[in-house]
Structure formats: C-alpha cells, structure tokens
C-alpha cells in the first residue's frame, strides 16, 4: 500500500465514522430522544428553541413588506433526495438556487435543503403547533443568509438562517404536485439511501397555496446542534395531501425499523414575541368592518382569533 492509499483509507474510515455518528447521534426515542439532546448539545437547552406552540391569542400584528420568492417557479435541474435516518431531505446539486428576501428578513437567503417531519398517525407529526393543534406533516425549507459564505458559516450568526415552514392537512384527494417527490421518496426507503433526479418539480409546486398569512418568530434548529439562528416563517394556510401520501413517509427506515415519527416536542416561548403578518393587501375593505373597532380597542393584540 502506498502512502497515498493509506491516507485515503484513513480518510474513508474517518468519513464513514462521521456518517455513522451522524446517523446514530440523536433520535426521537429513549436515551437518544429529545430530552437527552442537551447532554451532548448544550444549545438544545437554550431559551429560544423551536418548535413552539403558537398561541394565536398572543401574537403581535405586523404588516411586513412582501416576501420576494426568486427561482421558486423553475424546475430544479438536478437534486439529491436522501434518507439520512432522521428525515427525507432534498438538496440541489445543479442549477439555479431559489432565494427569498423581504418579509421579516433583512437579507437575501438561499436554498440549502428541504425536509419533513411527521408522526405515527395523522393526529400528530408537525413540530410547530397552532393553538395546541398538531398537524400530520410539516415541511421545512431551510435557507441560509447569503451575506455569509456558506450554510456552515451562517450557523454562527443570529440572522444566519430562515426556515419556511408549512403545515399539511388531510385531503380526500392526492396532491398531484407531489407525484414526482413521492416517486423519489419510494426510492430512498433504506437508511442512508440517496438518489439523484433531474428536472425535478419546482419549490413552488411544493408550496402552491396562498402564502400571504404567516407567523414569524426567532428560534432554533429543531435538531441538534439546536443553534438559535433561525427566523421562522410559519405559514398559516395548510397544504392538502392525502392519507396515502402522508403514510408514505412512515415507510422510510432508520436503524431501528420504520421511522414512524421525527418531531421534537414544543419548547417554551420565554421572552419571545410571535408576529403575525395577516397578509391583507386590501386594508380598506377590511378596516370598514368590525375589525376597525377591534383595532381601536385592542391595539396590535389579537383577542379572539380562529385558525
Ligand atoms: C432586521 O432588522 C431589524 C432592525 O434592525 C431587527 O429588529 C430585526 O431583528 C432584524 N431581523 C432579522 C431577521 O435579522
Ligand atoms: C396516534 O399516536 C399517538 C402516539 O403514539 C397515540 O397516543 C394516539 O392514540 C394515536 N391516535 C390514533 C387516532 O391512533
Ligand atoms: C392516491 O394515490 C394512491 C397511490 O398512488 C392510490 O392508491 C390512490 O387510489 C389515490 N387516491 C385517490 C383518491 O386518487
Ligand atoms: C379588495 O376587496 C374588494 C371587496 O372585497 C374586492 O372586490 C377587490 O378585488 C379586492 N382587491 C384586492 C386587490 O384584493
Ligand atoms: Zn426540520
């Protein structure tokens, strides 16, 4: 064996080591479960953690400038879909990177990856909740602040990341915009399976709903290392998918069998404020109703509110 071969061998061993560690480092049950994450990752016991239970009676109205989505409507040239043992994740290998700016963001954020959280049945599975209510599935589109050189760099800054977060509701019909993703999901059932796909559906297809109303708050990654660097944008309207489509996520394997659930329980809000962007472009017609009276008496606090 030449010196180079040996060092390559060591490198490979090292990489495999990292992958193995990565896959076993944390989980959602027992001694690897969320209550133990803080033992190894001190940030996981911080005061600005995610997810949270959004109490719609305790939000502050704020009309942010419009969110500007760039490259969200273009097909993705080449993507990788991976079962990393914690979730199914989509990253972009080739082609233009979708970006977002505006809303609560002070900078332009570029796509890093998207992934999902789900539960053992349709009564739970989302990470964030609204009014104590869980949803069966939640999508996280993770974007990093392009003022920093990379996703990894951005992790060191308070305004490093934004997560565009979408909740799902059960529909009687299959959501056909997810057909291609369902095929990808089927191809990566095995732990650490990863497949490449060309000409993949656009990000816009994943999130083709009215996105004007959203909650926003400062929080963290919901998996270790739980860095408190995330501006959360939690859209109020849900994406409809069928029971069958949700069930497909539970067919993925992790090391202990099927990955039936991968949601972190909600964390305390502490001193944080949740803002609510109503997304009403039509102020005049709305203010002519009883909302005006409401606004006069109660300022920017919502007193009674149904989501
Ligand atoms: C954007 O800037 C404002 C004003 O400086 C600040 O209050 C807010 O926290 C910043 N938002 C983010 C997401 O960094
Ligand atoms: C859903 O799963 C949870 C957690 O395992 C369980 O407590 C609950 O009873 C289940 N609900 C239904 C309707 O199966
Ligand atoms: C949804 O798709 C699944 C799997 O492709 C199929 O078995 C099912 O019949 C479809 N449901 C509807 C309502 O079209
Ligand atoms: C504003 O509201 C009126 C009455 O509800 C409606 O006819 C109109 O289309 C709305 N305009 C916009 C820009 O939404
Ligand atoms: Zn997530």
Complete domains list, the chain, with CATH: 48-298 (3.10.200.10)
* Residue 133 annotated to the active site: no
> From residue 11, how far is each of 14, 18, 23, 64, 70 by CA, in Å?
5, 11, 18, 48, 38
What pTM was estimated for this model as a whole?
A: 0.85
Q: Could you tell me if the CB of 261 is within 6 A of ligand 2?
A: no
151, 123 Cβ separation under 8 angstroms: no
pLDDT score recorded for residue 256:
86
Say what the pLDDT of residue 24 is.
52
For the beta carbon of residue 225, count every other beta carbon within 10 angstroms.
Answer: 15
Dihedral of the CA atoms 209, 214, 216, 220 (nearest 10)? Answer: -30
Buried b (16+ CB within 10 A) or exposed e, 227-263: bbbbbbbbbbbbbebeeebbebbbebbbeeeebbbbb
Phi and psi at residue 87, to the nearest 5°: -170, 175
pLDDT digits 0-9 by tens, 22-75? 445 899 999 999 999 999 999 999 999 999 999 999 999 999 999 999 999 999
The whole-number pLDDT of residue 280 equals 72
Centre of ligand 3 from the C-alpha of residue 244, in Å? 7
Pick out the chain residues at pLDDT < 70.
Answer: 1-24, 281-307
| Pocket perturbation via mutation, ligand 2, pick of 120, 137, 170, 258 by most ligand atoms within 8 A of CB | 120
Q: DSSP per residue over 171-182, as a string?
A: ESS--GGGHHHH
Evaluate: CB of 99 within 6 angstroms of ligand 3.
no
**284 CA → ligand 1 middle, Å:** 28
Residue nearest to atom 11 of ligand 4 (CA): 282
- 116 phi, psi to nearest 5 deg: -130, 160
């Amino acid at each position: 064996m030449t010196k180079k071969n040996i060092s390559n061998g060591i490198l490979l061993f090292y990489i495999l080591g990292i992958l193995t560690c990565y896959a076993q480092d944390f989980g959602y049950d027992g001694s690897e479960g969320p209550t133990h994450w803080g033992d190894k990752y001190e940030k996981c016991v911080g005061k600005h953690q995610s997810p949270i239970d959004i109490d719609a009676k305790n939000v502050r109205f704020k009309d942010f400038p419009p969110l500007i989505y760039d490259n969200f409507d273009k097909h993705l040239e080449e993507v990788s879909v991976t079962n990393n043992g914690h979730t199914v994740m989509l990253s972009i290998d080739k082609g233009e990177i979708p970006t977002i700016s505006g809303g609560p963001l002070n900078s332009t954020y570029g796509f890093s990856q998207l992934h999902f959280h789900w539960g053992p049945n349709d009564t739970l599975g989302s990470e964030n909740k609204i009014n104590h209510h869980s949803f069966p599935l939640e999508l996280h589109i993770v974007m990093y602040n392009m003022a920093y050189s990379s996703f990894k760099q951005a992790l060191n800054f308070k305004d490093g990341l934004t997560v565009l977060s979408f909740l799902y509701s059960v529909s009687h019909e299959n959501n056909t915009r997810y057909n291609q993703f369902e095929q990808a999901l089927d191809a990566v059932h095995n732990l650490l399976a990863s497949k490449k796909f060309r000409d993949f559906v656009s990000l816009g297809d994943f999130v083709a709903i009215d996105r004007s109303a959203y909650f926003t708050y400062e929080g963290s990654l919901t998996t270790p290392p739980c860095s408190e660097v995330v501006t959360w944008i939690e859209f109020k309207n849900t994406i409809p998918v069928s029971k069958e489509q949700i069930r497909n996520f539970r067919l993925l394997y992790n090391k202990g069998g099927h990955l039936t659930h991968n949601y972190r329980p909600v964390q305390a809000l502490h001193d944080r404020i949740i803002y609510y962007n109503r997304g009403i472009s039509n102020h005049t017609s709305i203010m002519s109703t009883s909302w005006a009276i409401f606004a006069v008496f109660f300022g920017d606090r919502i007193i009674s509110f149904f989501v």
